[in-house]
Amino acid sequence: MCRVICVSNQKGGVAKTTTCINLGIGLARAGKKVLLIDADAQGSMAASLGIQEPDGLDFTLANIMEKVINDEDLEPGEGILHHTEGIDFIPANIELAGLETSLVNIMSRETILRQFINSIRERYEYIIIDTMPSLGMITVNALVAADCVLIPVEAAYLPVKGLQQLIKTIGKVHRKLNPALTIMGILLTKVDRRTNFARDISAQIREVYGSRVHIFENCIPLSVRAVETSAEGKSIYLHDPKGIVAQGYQRLTKEVLEDEE
């Protein structure tokens, strides 16, 4: 059984890409077969996995989706790259933004990514999709393709305020397009444990959403070491294995694996 996890939040800078990469590599370190899909035209995941110029890539998620739209055959493994830390990944770049605008006139436009994922899901135990900070058509495609949504939320006022809109969108996709979609949980990120403010925001989220949505027991602490990994092209487990962020993602991986049981 493959589990497709969409990591989504329409607010940028909440550690979506960092969470995708470190959860994915954490699962691979636990012996799971993992594919990461970059569904963000900024190409942040590709850059964070060591690709210097994502916009210079010849084949990305946009090309894969175009082939699905045009009913063209994909070769086995076409467009899938491998990272030295044991995961496969599909990069994205600016071409995805162009594809998003052209999706408007496509039949079954919300299901293009799902059609592709269904064709490869038997090869993996986990497929994790990194989405762009918007609720546009590519993000809707990711939600339609997913089994569940992991929502990273920065422990700050404005990101929390936008959470209601995202949960409404997930509910709409669940009702109209993907009745199997569930919310896996809210993950608090960039938590500055030294401040009362971060603790207050965390408590507020648990109070408002805790009865309806699972909130991960462990949060991801604020640390400059997590930001540095983007430039290094490797995970936090290699960059700072004994640090607080690596511990946070190890605990998150453990929670995701326990949720499987």
The conformation of residue 191, written as its DSSP 8-state character, comes to B
Enclosing H/E stretch for 44: helix 44-48
Which residues of the chain are under the pLDDT cut of 50?
Answer: none
**pLDDT given for residue 158 in this prediction:** 59
> What token pair was written down for 197?
């403010």
Q: Are 143 and 6 in contact (CB under 8 A)?
A: yes
pTM for the full predicted model: 0.93
**pLDDT given for residue 261 in this prediction:** 62
Domains annotated on the chain, with CATH = 3-260 (3.40.50.300)
- CA nearest to 209, candidates 161, 142, 148: 161
Instruction: Provide the sign of the torsion angle of the four alpha carbons 140, 146, 148, 150, taken in this order.
Output: negative
